[in-house]
Amino acid sequence: MTELLIRNILNHITLSNKELENFCNLFNQKEVLKKHFLLREGKLCKFEGFVIKGLFRVYHIDSNGFEQVLYFAKENWWVTDIDSFTNDKPSQLYIQALEDSEVLLISKRDKEFAYNNIPKIEELFRVMTQKTHIALQRRIIDNLSKTADQRYLDFIEKYPNLFQRLTNVQIAAYLGISHEFLSKIRRKIASK
């Protein structure tokens, strides 16, 4: 089950076989059934996870009771509440499986162990953090400067396989619009 994780790591950095083996041995595999939670708001996030099967949504519920999806995590993607994990504070997020899923989890202690014993792992997480910041910056700019129609079309183009695995309600929560408004957008696009 670590083959996908190894390929992901090697896309970012180079490690020896022994370093890869030592790092991968720090992860524990967990199965999460559809609709079950990997993390709930108010709990401490004690893991960073790598999705090997399935799909998760990472979301927050605002003061009006609306879900705001930060991101989806499918196979070959990482999932966590980085604020809770890093700062040992209760999570503001939910991480829920949208399909029967499997994830490899590493604890904070084991991640620190890797930093101290496999120095290139710190480079791995630095590179991944930079890529995450870039994606977040682009998403913020898009949300501030593009119409909902444009954001929807961008989402379909950027994530065609993910788009097919989600409901309209989930996509709307990611785009920051109501599912009724998303339905209007879809009808408008279909009529063109």
Beta strands 101-106 and 67-74: pairing type?
Answer: unpaired
Helix (H, G, I), strand (E, B) or coil at 20: helix
- 71 DSSP 8-state letter: E
- pTM for this structure? 0.93
Alpha-carbon distance of 85 to 47, in angstroms, equals: 7
CATH code that applies to domain 3-117: 2.60.120.10
Residue 170's nearest CA partner among 4, 59, 23 is 59
Contacts of 2 (CB under 8 A, 6+ apart): 24, 27, 104
Which residue, chain included where needed, has tokens 């559809």?
Answer: 34
Report whether pLDDT(1) > 80. Answer: no
pLDDT at 77: 96
Listed by start position, the domains of the chain span: 3-117
User: What is the CB-side half-sphere exposure of residue 182 using CA atoms within 13 A?
Assistant: 18
Q: What is the mean pLDDT of residues 16-24?
A: 96
* CB 69 within 8 Å of CB 21: no
pLDDT digits (tens, 9 = 90+) for 82-121: 999 999 999 999 999 999 999 999 999 999 999 999 999 9
Distance CA 161, CA 180 (A): 23
- Could you tell me which residues come within 8 angstroms of residue 164 by beta carbon, excluding any fewer than 6 positions away? none
pLDDT value, residue 132: 93
The amino acid occupying position 185 is: I
Tell me: pLDDT of 44 over 90.
Answer: yes
Q: Taking Cα atoms as reference points, which of 130, 191, 159, 65 lies closest to residue 151?
A: 159
Q: Yes or no: say if 113 and 75 are a contact pair by the CB < 8 Å rule.
A: no
